[in-house]
Amino acid sequence: MKKLALHWKILLGMVVGVLFALLLTNFDWGSNFIGDWVKPFGTIFISSLKLIAIPLILAALIKGISDLKDISSLSKMGMRTISIYVITTVIAVSIGLTVVSLVQPGKTINEDTRNELVEAYGGDADAKLQAAAAQKDAGPLQALIDLVPSNIVSAASSNRNMLQVIFFAVFFGISLILIPEEKAKTVKDFFDGLNEVILKMVDLIMLAAPYGVFALMAALVVEAPSADLFAALGMYAVSVVFGLLLMVVFYIVLVKVFTKKSPKFFLNGIAPAQLLAFSTSSSAATLPVTMERVTEHLGVEEEVSSFVLPIGATINMDGTSLYQAVAAVFIAQAFGMDLSFGTQLGIIATATLASIGSAAVPGAGMVMLVGVLGYAGIPEAGLALIFAVDRPLDMCRTVINVTGDATVSMLVAKSQGKLGDPKVKNWDDTYAK
């Protein structure tokens, strides 16, 4: 029997997980069984990916920067990376605003449904509001303060401190370039070897990906809100998903025009990372797989992918930005508010900046959305209106975040002359070792 490609195995795990959960929910004991005996395996799978996220970023970034040999190469790559990330984010927010303005999903929310949602999800929304309030009280330069860790061991103890770890890795890598090559060789060889070990750990973890995804999807089905609430917010969800699909088309066009790679080549190469992003809702948890796919299957040289992708997983949140734009306008429509053109331009700027500070973990976009609502004068209590469908949409927008990171890495690699043929050409046999 011919072995299935990894992304088909993951997709099969997702489908079987949903069907398994739907079957067991017909029994009184079904939900408890999934929660006690199935969900823990999904939790273990996510934890195993998070386990290697920080070591991977440290090893890959330090290796990538030290391979550049000189500061001028680093500066050139860094400017191109950040510039492209900002441009794609602005385009994502603009697409979101256009779609939600045309579809106007807020008009499908009636008063009874709105009251029901606020009552049902008011407690969860309050928690998000409190988290966002703590960010509002900070000074204008707090983000800059938070960038520099006072203790790298403490910073590396949490995936939420990804920017601090990146700062240390970049600082360390630059310092490694500036010392004599013979003295740097021992340190560089250590991180080269560490990087290879971490990538092998990714291969081993991915062998369990279909089973981990099965457990995650089964748990999501039994924990989801009622079907009536999803139906009430259907047009909002459709608006977000349609905007995200437009972003995929935009990425494909970018890859085709600037790298001359076919859509099939690009999508086949990144598909396992996309499916994993969908099931975990975390760019950070998916980062190890994204780096492996981009390097081995899309032909991006490691010195580029190891620099561009960790930064992208932290500051490039195209899917999150698009969602924030749609959500803000949707809530305004639900409350009968009309947003001026100037306010919508402000939403573009606010959502772009908010995405840069958004953690690459599930649900972070919901907290950052409060800042966008506050700017536009939209009632923050409206957060409860969208909380019911945030989880599945979080899964979808994480796919776009990861796809955007892969796209930008290819564009930067092409501009640097670092885009070649993939190391692994047979996708079916990638993990059949």
- Of 241, 243, 305, which is closest to residue 270 (Cα–Cα)? 305
C-beta neighbour count of 33 within 10 angstroms: 14
Contact between residue 200 and residue 65 where contact means Cβ atoms under 8 Å apart:
no
Element (H, E) at 12: helix 6-24
pLDDT at 228: 47
Q: What is the pLDDT of residues 366-414, one digit of tens each?
A: 556 766 776 667 766 666 667 656 777 888 888 999 999 999 999 999 9
What is the rounded average pLDDT of the residues 310-318? 80
Helices and strands in the chain, H and E counts: 20, 0
Alpha carbon distance 266, 178 (integer Å): 36
Q: Which residues contact 252 (CB under 8 A, 6 or more apart)?
A: 263, 266, 267
Alpha carbon distance 55, 367 (integer Å): 27
Residues in a beta bridge with 419: 300
Alpha carbon distance 146, 161 (integer Å): 9
Dihedral, CA of residue 282, residue 283, residue 288 and residue 289, to nearest 10 = 90
Q: What is the distance between the terminal CA atoms of the chain, rounded to a whole angstrom?
A: 16
Q: Which CATH architecture has domain 6-429?
A: Orthogonal Bundle (1.10)
Q: What is the pLDDT of residues 320-334, one digit of tens each?
A: 889 888 888 887 777
What is the rounded average pLDDT of the residues 93-105? 88
Could you tell me if residue 260 is left (phi over 0), alpha (psi between -120 and 50 degrees) or otherwise beta? left
Alpha carbon distance 380, 232 (integer Å): 20
DSSP 146: H
Using DSSP's 3-state secondary structure scheme, residue 362 falls into coil
Using DSSP's 3-state secondary structure scheme, residue 109 falls into coil
* Residue 266 scores a pLDDT above 90: yes
* Residue 229 scores a pLDDT above 60: no
Per the model's pLDDT, the better-predicted residue between 78 and 163 turns out to be: 78
Residues in a beta bridge with 300: 419
* Residue 432 scores a pLDDT above 50: no
Structure tokens at 255: 């890859």
* Residue 416 scores a pLDDT above 80: yes
pLDDT at 143: 62
Element (H, E) at 412: helix 390-416
Return the domain boundaries, the chain: 6-429
* Residue 356 scores a pLDDT above 90: no
* Residue 254 scores a pLDDT above 90: yes
Structure tokens at 232: 């009430």
Q: Which residue has the tokens 């779609």?
A: 99
The model's pTM is 0.67
